[in-house]
Homo-oligomer: A and B are copies of this chain.
Amino acid sequence: MKKFKNSTHSFVHESLKGLAEVHADILRVHFDPTYVIRRDSAQGRVAVISGGGSGHEPLDVGYVGHGMLAAACPGEIFTSCTPDQILAAAQSAEQGAGCLFIVKNYRGDLLNFETALDMLDFECATVVVDDDASVDSSPHSVGRRGAAGTMIVQKIVGAAAAAGASLSECKAVGNRINAKTASVGVSFQGCMDPITGAPTFEIGADEIEFGVGLHGEPGRQRIPMLAVDALATRMLDTILADLKPQLGQRVLLCINGFGATPLVELYVLFNAAAKQLKERGLIVQRSLVGNHATSLDTPGGSITVSLFDDELSSLWSAPVHTAALRW
C-alpha cells in the first residue's frame, strides 16, 4: 500500500498534529480524548460542534474556526467519534449559551452524540443532516445519509451562532437549511483504505456507482459512465425531484470532489450543472467548487443544491475563518 503513513496506529494522530501546527492561529488539537477546538472562544455564543469518522477532510476538522465550528471530534478512519471525545469537546467549547451538535445521519454517530448529550449538564440540541437524496436508507443509516450538505449546514449554523442566535434559533436554522439541501454523488471506483489497504468496492471499467455514500456505500444503481452533461442531468433530476423548487428560486450550487478527481474536472461538472439549473428556471446565486467532504482517494464527486432566501444567503456570505473555508 502506497500512502504517506508511518503506522496504522498513529495515522490519524500524526495528521492532526500536522493540522494543529499549520493552523495554530485558528485551532488547537487536544489528545486523549481527541478533539479540535477554536483557539479564540466566542463568549456567550452557542458552541457549534460536529464530528464523525476521519477520511472526509476537510470535513469536519478543517471547518473549526470563526463563523463555523467551535469544535470537531475526529474518529478513526470511517469510524464514529466516541462519546468521551464529544463530552470533552463540548465541556471545553461551551461558552454559556449551550452546544448545538451537527450530526451526519449515521447510526454510530447519532448514538454516540446522544450518549454524550445525556451526560452534559448544560443546554444542548442536535441537528441531524440527511441531505443525500439518492437513497432512502443504507447499510449505515436509518433514513437518508449525511453527505456534502453537512458543511453547508455547518456554515449556516456557525454564522448564525457567531451573530448571536440562541440555541433554539441555531437549531431552527440548521433544520431549515438541512430541509432545503439535497445532494447526489457518483463514484468511479472505491477508495483505498489506509488502514486495511483494501479498496472499499470493486466496479467495472466503464461503470459508475450512482448515488454513492461518503464511505463508498452502495447508491441507487450501477450505470454506464455518461458524458458530463447527461450525468449532471440525471443527478439534478434526483436532487430537484426532492427539493421541488419553484421557478425563479435562488440556489447555492456546490460541486464537491471525493478526493481524487482533479479540480479541472470539478469545474467542468459545475459548468454542466449551472447551465442546466438555469435552463430549468433557477438562479445560481452562490457557488462553491472543491474537495469539501471527501471519501479518502475516491474518484468522483457530488452535486449539492440548497434553496436560498435572503437570510440563508446572508448567513452563507458572512465571514468565516477556518483551515478550509475562508472569506
Contact = CB atoms under 8 A, between A and B. Distances in A.
A240 interface: no
A269 interface: yes
A113 interface: no
Given A14-B272, A15-B271, A297-B260, A265 B5 contact: yes
Contacts of A58: 263
A311 interface: no
A228 interface: yes
User: Which of A259, A267, A288, A297 has its CB near the most chain B CB atoms (within 10 A)?
Assistant: A267
A172 interface: no
A287 B323 CA distance: 12
Nearest to A323: B289
Interface stretch (A18-26, A121-129, A243-251): A18-26
A194 B265 contact: yes
B327 A227 contact: no
A71 B215 CA distance: 39
Residue picked from A1, A2, A208, A289, most chain B C-beta under 10 Å: A2
Contact of A15 (B12, B227, B261, B264): B264
A33 interface: no
Contacts of A291: 263, 291
A176 interface: no
Interface of A: 1-7, 11-12, 14-19, 21-22, 54-55, 57-58, 62, 77, 188-189, 194, 206, 208, 225, 227-229, 231, 259-272, 274, 284, 287-289, 291, 294, 296-297, 299, 301, 326-327
24 contacts: A2-B299, A4-B228, A4-B301, A5-B268, A7-B227, A11-B268, A15-B264, A15-B268, A17-B267, A18-B267, A18-B269, A18-B270, A19-B267, A21-B284, A21-B287, A22-B270, A54-B264, A55-B264, A57-B263, A57-B267, A259-B263, A260-B260, A261-B297, A291-B291
